[in-house]
A = this chain, B = another copy of it.
Amino acid sequence: MLSYNAIQRSELEQWSFTETEFNLLAQGKCESVMSLGNGYMGLRSATEEAYIGATRNLFVNGTFNRFDELEVTELPNAADVTQVELFIDGQRFSLETGKVTDYNRTLNLRDAELTRSFVWRSDEGKRIQFEFRRFVSKHDLHLIGIKLQVTPLDEGITLRLASGINAQMSNSGSQHFHEGEKRIFNKKYLQLVQTTTESKVDFVLSALHQFWIDGCQVDLEPQMEIERRKMEMVYTMELKAGQTLEMHKLVQVHTSRDSDSHASANLESLRSYSLEALKQAEAAGYDRLFEQHQQEWAAIWDRYSFEIDSENRFDLLALRFAIYHLMVMTPVHDHRMGIGAKGLSGEGYKGHSFWDTEIFILPFFIYSEPKIARSLLEYRYLGLEGARRKAKENGFEGAMYPWEVAWPSDGEVTPVWGAVDIVTGKQTKIWSGFIEQHITSDIAYAVWHYYQASGDQSFMDECGYEMIFDTATFWASRLEWNEEASIYEINEVIGPDEYKEHVDNNAFTNYMAHFNMQLALHYYDELKTRNPELLSSLDSILNLAHSSQEWQEKADAIYLPKPDERGIIAQDDNYLLKQLIDLTPYKSQSKVGSLFQDYSLDQVNEMQVSKQADILMLFYLLENRFAPELKRANYDYYEPKTLHDSSLSFSTHSILASDFDDKKLAYELFRRATEIDLGPHEHSSDAGIHSASLGGIWQCVVMGFAGMRMLDGELHLHPRMPESWHRLAFPLYWKGSKLECIITKDQLEIKTDCTDEVHLVIYGKRVSFTGQLQFEMIHI
């Protein structure tokens, strides 16, 4: 079982979580939630020894490849370096056999280190102590370090150890690589080359092994094996009782897509560079390399230092877990790359980016490290190429962002076929890539959000205005005129609630399109006076004189659904007319998916049942436009019909519950959000962690419990801490300044090093200060 309590009262309290019992049913979950990475690459935490059902994944961000014309591009699963086969006296070592005691597998978030230790008693009665350590360096983005120790306790053993580089891996059967050269230098340095089949990205993996027996380095003669797509060193040794074998395996991973200068050269020089880097790593040694990695993480935790004094000590761990994974998955080194819906922790969603980034994750970076937020938005700016192509292909103008995006110039990469339809026995068609169109305004919204919070004018000038204008132009071309009603409609879409396909006038979509066009108009007018030169240069590409007229005319006449007599805004034209069914059997999280064992998607389409927050998400994003009573009425109507069959759902509901001052409900929903990856459900994270949910956890705390919002360009704080919390401290970036917020039961304190006056709105009251502010808490 997963437990974060296992090492309580130790130094690492609230910094780590532990699997305290070997359990293969939770294998996939542990591989994902304990995965390592540094934004450049992600390494799923499969164990060194092999088990049925294990999934070994090594992804290098941005190296997308398409297997064939029937599949979509995806992050290819590079050669594995984690498997180390151990044979004890000729028998393959496995925890499924023998007896295991003192078992502990821990992800230490502070140091971004995975450790595993246990004593294993073989069927023959020999007890052997094992210890494993592993890290993916944050200091040298190309480095993986693996350490293992084996100590026979009672009697001597013959230990055979096979370790190397295995490129027989695939993405669930799809092989993305041509086999390249495999070479062993000096009977020591292994090097394997593989090249993606369609995108032609060269991967070079280099690895070495070092050995110590009882602390003395030894030179073991390897048996060298090179097979198809695979190379391996086999070392055999005798260990006496009490002797410890220690192995270090150092691995360098480089690709021709790397933005470091060496990548621009040819394969030969990339290979030499990789070998040279490996030798440098060898010279430094595992322990020094780990220290450098540790220092980088110490700096990260310093920048994102959260404090939560909660009666439930898990809360802080959950937040650190979220921040850890957000750092592990985000390509802060390269703006040509985005964040996958499963980060770099699994094959799920193929490494593609969704609105998850802009709406769920980006706020964390906007308020914690704005330069990363900018890099992620620059990725979307590069993506204009694909977005314009998608618009053109669909008969529209402007930029129609793809529902799923990979390499920025790719355009739409959403797969077309999904799970089985129980009625037809065929795979269901995934319509999101065709008609889930709100992504375009979500991106415009994120640009605006970033700009409002950061004041980063250079980003707006270089990228932001162009994105907002061209997305507005898409919407203007997308609207459909309803002659009878004299309104513009948006028909045949999917809103955030993906259980409802082919709906007309999804409220979220219509309101956000309206927002997008109005935003464009606003900036168009503003630039006329503030920066006519920039406007004229944008006009020359985007034909703004014409477009702005379109925005104006269409924004004025777009249909924006209004509340009915009960105060309910219809999610779409037909939702409220659909059948009501008893959702009790499906409401528990582990049973959510079972709805589709009983109903086909076509059948679910005809019921008042929602996958996730839809209209509620609209209330959150455009909160000024809707009165609190209206929000509550709609929450009470829609939540019981929502299965939260998306990791995007709980955090939105929790934040809205905070807004209603329902602290208990807000905290409960926060806890459910943290349980998406860290909860007891054994298979929730098999395909990878839920990156949007992790951003959502941060939002529950900062946007929810601290009540932080950007409204009309002002920073609002409205703390409503859970009853069980006594203190919450966190950093915030606002308009280029760092603020330190400390919330207790009694007061809100804000500190800043910034010498300028800071303007805030606290509990609806405008305040200005320099240096430090203390504000007495309002208790409801």
Contacts and interface: CB of A to CB of B under 8 A. Distances in A.
A173 B425 contact: no
Contacts of A184: 420, 425
Contacts of A185: 425
Nearest to A166: B173
A51 interface: yes
Interface in A165-215: 167-170, 172-175, 178-179, 181-187, 197
Interface in A372-388: none
A597 B225 CA distance: 9
B167 A422 contact: no
A229 interface: yes
A133 B71 CA distance: 37
Copies in the complex: 2
A175 B51 CA distance: 22
Interface in A311-364: none
Contacts of A419: 225-227
Nearest to A191: B425
Q: Is the interface of A mostly helix, strand, loop or mixed?
A: loop
A607 B224 CA distance: 22
A92 B51 CA distance: 12
B175 A420 contact: no
Nearest to A184: B425
A599 to B, nearest CB: 13
A427 interface: yes
B179 A70 contact: yes
Contacts of A94: 52, 96
Interface string A226-250: 1111110000000000000000000
A482 B44 CA distance: 64
B168 A24 contact: no
Contacts of A96: 94, 96-97
Interface string A88-100: 0010101011000
Given A172-B229, A173-B170, A183 B70 contact: no
A7 B175 CA distance: 45
A173 B169 contact: yes
A603 interface: no
Contacts of A92: 24-25, 52-53
A757 to B, nearest CB: 57
A259 interface: no
Interface string A49-73: 0111100000000000001101100
Nearest to A96: B96
A224 to B, nearest CB: 5
Contact of A427 (B24, B174, B182, B186): B182
A96 B422 CA distance: 36
Given A52-B52, A175-B170, A187 B425 contact: yes
A70 B70 CA distance: 22
Nearest to A188: B425
A173 B197 CA distance: 13
Contacts of A230: 172-173
Contacts of A68: 178, 197
A223 interface: yes
A386 B536 CA distance: 66
A759 interface: no
Interface in A21-38: 24-25
Given A226-B419, A229-B172, A183 B425 contact: yes
A726 interface: no
Nearest to A350: B228
A426 interface: yes
Contact of A173 (B50, B52, B168, B422): B168
Contacts of A187: 422, 425
B229 A174 contact: yes
Contacts of A178: 68, 70
Nearest to A171: B228
A283 to B, nearest CB: 21
Contacts of A52: 50-52, 92, 94
B223 A186 contact: no
Contacts of A181: 426-427
Candidate in A94, A174, A183, A197 with the most chain B CB atoms within 10 angstroms: A174
A226 B50 contact: no
B597 A425 contact: no
Given A170-B175, A172-B229, A226-B420, 16 more contacts: A52-B52, A53-B92, A67-B175, A68-B178, A68-B197, A96-B96, A96-B97, A169-B173, A170-B170, A172-B228, A181-B426, A182-B427, A187-B422, A187-B425, A226-B427, A231-B420
Interface of A: 24-25, 50-53, 67-68, 70-71, 90, 92, 94, 96-97, 167-170, 172-175, 178-179, 181-187, 197, 223-231, 419-420, 422, 425-427, 597
29 contacts: A24-B92, A25-B92, A52-B52, A53-B92, A68-B178, A68-B197, A71-B179, A94-B96, A97-B97, A168-B173, A172-B227, A172-B229, A173-B175, A173-B179, A173-B230, A174-B175, A174-B228, A175-B175, A181-B426, A182-B427, A184-B420, A224-B420, A224-B425, A224-B597, A225-B419, A225-B420, A226-B419, A226-B420, A227-B419
The 4 closest A-B pairs by CB, nearest first: A168-B173, A184-B425, A226-B420, A175-B175
